Every structure is written in structure tokens, then in C-alpha cells.
Amino acid sequence: MVQGVFTCKFDKISKTNYFLAHSLSESTFFLTFGAYDYFRRFIHFVCGSRGSNALNSVEYYCCDRPNPILQIMYLGIIGATYYFIATSSFGYIPGYYLSGLHRYTSFLAVGVGILLFLLTSFSDSGTVNSANVSQYLSAYPYDNIIFTEKECSTCKIPKPARSKHCSICDRCVARFDHHCGWMNNCIGERNTRYFMAFILWHFLICIYGVVALALILAGRLKESKVIHILTEYYGIENSLWALAPHVVQWLLGAYNTQILIMMFLAVVSLLLAGFFAYHAKLCLSNTTTNESFKWHEYLSWQRKVSEAKASAEALKASLDELGQERKPQISKWKAFFRRSRLEELEVVKNNMYDRGFLNNIHEIEQIIGILSVDGTLISSASFFCGAMWHSGCPRM
């Protein structure tokens, strides 16, 4: 949801269906899409059609065309955060609990994060075109459920299984996951590993920042002898509950910048942890965000079909039994229980690409080669699953 709000787009799923599928409240809908709809109405009321057209143009550029707005925002956020940490806290490094080495490791950590950002943003996500479509067609079989053999109406080439045409980038992408506005790029077959490493690394950076700042504050607390002063000169009991309010008050007064940065990093780390856990779950089940939406739509349709069949059969059974002259009351109860059993039929997801938890992990870890069109091996790539979750290459 967070990603959809920032990128302004949910591919292949309507706004209403998305929120119904995830059981979100009306207040959440208002804070995301509803508020924007009211804003559009307000602009139209104040500025008329000219204002609405201008807003539509801005929305089209920001949400429906490739643009670097969120990329610039990311660089601004990480740059500003590092700047405020450096100016407010580097003066206390080295400290009582922190060595001077962290001046350089923090810079290195941010540098690696930006490198992963650049790799994810500017690497090929797995573009499918007429020159390489035969490679991708052999990478995955069609499951004939959510992926069937057909042609892309825009690119005029066969659509490989698990691929999708991105309306923003205007290209077909192999093993399409989603279009990421923060990267201004699609996440697909070839750059999923960078995307996963990017999320994980930035989660670790946030945790590193929180811990480092906490150690700086703990060191300042120790060096300033705050506990000693509170207990010896102010007569405060030497216990956690007695000292905590006074220590927090002192920290907020003397080091409010560090406290605010720690809170910001903690919140961002929670968001990144949830986002990484979601995508890790997808990778370990060998599926994608796009496929999860497709499966939801398919299962919802199948469930409606099953319910319709169950209702029809229950109605037919009721009519048949009501037509009998014997034991009409028992017949009604039989029809009721028969209808209840039919309505409880479950529709099961059958993902043929999921080869089991261990096999999926093995697939992530294994060395995967790239085949040229004529079948000759032209390169291979390997990576460790803890940093690179899924290969960007078609399977042999």
C-alpha cells in the first residue's frame, strides 16, 4: 500500500478491489485515495476545468510516465539524514562506547546504499523484445491459469510466462514484479537481486544509525556523570523507574536532534523490515507482486463461480425435495445443510512455479547461466541468497 501511494499506481487491480482484498478500513481509503479525490474536486471548484487539466498533467507526469522525482527525493532524504547525523554527532566520535572508526564506516554504509540504489535504478530489469523473446519463452512454462500463451498487444511479440507489459516504462519485463517509483524502473528478472539487497541494506543502515546514536548518547550520559549527579546531589533513588524520567528529560534538552533522528530511523526501519519480509516471502514461494494480484483476482473469480454453482445446486435440491410429499420438514433441513457444505468449498492456489521451500532456496542460491538465442552459453552469474535473493537471468 505504501508503495502504491508513493508511485500513484496499482497495476492490474482496481483501487476498490485492492482495499477490499486487504480488508482496509474506510479511514485508510480516505487518507490515501479519498483525500486526493476530494482535493481534485476542490481544484475543479476553485479553478475550473483549467485547474483540473493542469492537475491531470501533473498527475500524468508524476504517476504515469518515467520521472526522477522520487529518485531525487531518496537522494535528498539520505543526504540530509547523513548531514544532520554528521553535524550533530560526529563531534562525539570517538566516544566512551564508540570508536573513531565509525566516522568512516558510516560513510561507507551510505555509499554502499547509494550504489545499490544506482544498480537497481539503472540496470536492465529484464526487457523482453523481438531479439531475445525466444530466450524468455523457454525460461518458464505457461501454467494456463494466470499465464496463457498470447501476444503483447503493444510490443507485438509473444508474452513469456510471468512477464508483463509495464504501461509506465512502455516495455515488456520478464518475471515482472512491480514498477518502483523510487527507482524509476521496473523490478523484474534481472534486477530483483539488487532491489532485495537495497531494501535489506537500508534496513541495516537504519538499525546501525539507531544503535550508533544510542551509544553516543549513552557515552555522553556516562561522561557527564548524569546518573551520579541525580543520585548523589538530587537524592533520586538509584533505580530505572526513578531515574528514567530525569534522564529522558536531560537527553531531550541537550540532544534533541539525535533523539529525533533515532525516532525517524526507527520508523523507517520498521517499514523496510515489513517490506523486505513481504518480498522475501514472495521470493521463497517463487512468486511476484504482480502474480499475487493475479492469483487474488483468479481465486476471487473461482470462489464466486463455486458459490454460484453451490447456490444453484442447493436451490435445485430444495425444489426437488419440496416437490416430494413425504417429510417436507426433514427435506428443508437436508437442503439447508447441503447448501452450507457447498458454500464452504475452498478454492486452492496452485502455483506451478513454487517447487517447495527448500527447492526455492536452492534455486535462489544456484549458479544460473544465460543462453543466447542459438543455445550457446554466453555467461553465468552466481550470488549468495542473503544479499541477492533471485537471479536476473532466464533459466536453462
Catalytically annotated residues? 180
Rg, Å, the chain Cα set: 28
Other C-beta atoms closer than 10 Å to the C-beta of 238 total 11
Q: Which three cell numbers stand for residue 112?
A: 554502499
Instruction: Please give the Cα distance from 299 to 305 (Å, whole number).
Output: 10
The answer to whether residues 390 and 192 touch, using CB atoms and an 8 Å cutoff, is: yes
User: Shortest CA distance to 369 belongs to which of 91, 159, 138, 198?
Assistant: 138
Q: Which three cell numbers stand for residue 166?
A: 509495464
Instruction: Please give the Cα distance from 214 to 231 (Å, whole number).
Output: 22
The rounded Cα 228 to chain-centroid distance in angstroms is 47
The answer to whether residues 385 and 147 touch, using CB atoms and an 8 Å cutoff, is: no
3-class SS of residue 348: coil
Q: Which residue has the cell 544498480?
A: 119
User: Shortest CA distance to 210 belongs to which of 113, 85, 73, 387?
Assistant: 85
Instruction: Please give the Cα distance from 172 to 396 (Å, whole number).
Output: 20
Amino acid symbol at 81: T
DSSP class of residue 146 equals: S
The answer to whether residues 191 and 200 touch, using CB atoms and an 8 Å cutoff, is: no
Instruction: Please give the Cα distance from 27 to 57 (Å, whole number).
Output: 28
Starting at the earlier edge strand, list the strands of the sheet with 171-173. Answer: 127-128, 171-173, 164-166
Q: Tell which phi-psi region holds residue 77, choosing left (phi > 0), alpha (psi between -120 and 50) or beta.
A: alpha
